[in-house]
A and B are shown apart, each in its own frame.
Chain A
Amino acid sequence: MGRTVLPFSQVWEEERERWRKFRRALRREDQAHLDRLFELARLHFQAGVYAANPWPLESMFMAMLLEHEKAIQKLTERLRRLEGSQGAEGDGEGKAGKALPRSET
């Protein structure tokens, strides 16, 4: 309806198409990871749309990174809880030295 600039979902498709050869030469199990990465980029389409970056791949990478950051945060939290509960029972020593890099929050 009077829209000229491609919808972001189409831009995403075109970007993914460009990585077809890269994907082909990956092992199958790695291909699955790559596919999931691209799916992650979809979760923040609205930000890509709003930013209107002339190089949309950058917005897609940022979205993937964002999801990774969220996953890392979650895992760090879980690990801390698990290690914390173990520490209370076992050694009595904190394992602070071995903690994963902590994010700001």
Chain B
Amino acid sequence: MTRKVQPGKLWAKEPGVVTPALPSTLTAFVSLKPGRAALLWGESIRSLGALACAWAAARGTRVLTVDAANVFDPYRLVREARRLGVSPREALARVQVARTFTCHQLVRLMQEMPGKLRPGSLVLVLGPVSPFYDEQVPLAERRRLFKELTATLEALKMTNPLLLLQPRLPPEAPNRGFGRLLRPIADVFGSCRELASGP
């Protein structure tokens, strides 16, 4: 059963006015627990990813981040964490990162995850769809791999909360509809606009 996040929680209320990042997006995070997955897409995944990690660190939760779009920003993580009262050292220690550069690597990494997960850890995947647009791999194979990915994610979310953040694909990438295929596993999904970054 999917529930679309109310517009207004994540969207700016008036044109030109951007609601502060923290309260609105927390709504999506707060609902995360084992058995639930959230999928957000938009422009500012770099900040949102850091924010998610910081928020988890502030609650003492470990985060395992899989970065498939090369958008993980440890500096931003430290910044967001400080706003939440977490020291840089602590924030950086609570978040583990692994990067993948091909769709094969992503699928394999996700499949090997269960062994590395502790109960309560947040699994964050940045750009789950991005590597599937590489045309050097035949489309049929990419489709097959994607199915494996979604199956793995479905299984993962049963034991740990799952947050999927997907940046916009470059316009040159021919659209194959992978994003649409990912939606069914999400219990919470929505798009996010540019988040204000404070001083």
Q: Do chains A and B touch in the complex (CB under 8 A)?
A: yes
Chain A residues with CB under 8 Å of chain B are 2, 4-6, 11, 14, 18, 21, 54-56
Q: Which residues of B47-98 have CB atoms within 8 Å of chain A's CB atoms? A: 67, 70, 72-75, 78, 88-89, 92, 97
User: Chain B, 85-126, contact with A by CB distance < 8 Å: what is the 0/1 string?
Assistant: 000110010000101010000000000000000000000000
Assuming the contacts A18-B199, A21-B199, A56-B75, asked whether A4 and B92 have C-beta atoms less than 8 A apart, the reply is no
Nearest residue, chain B, Cβ from A21: B199
| Closest residue of B by beta carbon distance from A52 | B74
The residue in chain A whose Cβ has the minimal distance to the Cβ of B71 is A4
Contact residues in A for B88 (Cβ distance below 8 Å)? 54-55
Query: Interface on chain A toward B: helix, strand, loop, or mixed SS?
Result: loop
B3–chain A nearest beta-carbon distance, Å: 33
Q: Which 5 residue pairs across A and B have the least CB separation, nearest first?
A: A54-B88, A54-B78, A18-B199, A4-B70, A4-B72
Look across to chain B and name the residue whose beta carbon is closest to the beta carbon of A19.
B199
Interface residues on B, range: 10 to 19
Number of residue pairs A-B, CB distance < 8 angstroms: 26
Residue from the list B67, B75, B101 in contact with A54, Cβ < 8 A:
B75
Q: What CA separation (Å) do A71 and B88 show in the bound complex?
A: 33
Distance (whole angstroms) from the CB of A80 to the closest CB of chain B: 42
A4 touches B67 (CB 8 A): yes
Question: Which residues from B are CB-within-8-Å of A55?
Answer: 78, 88
User: Could you tell me if A5 and B199 are in contact, using CB atoms closer than 8 angstroms?
Assistant: no
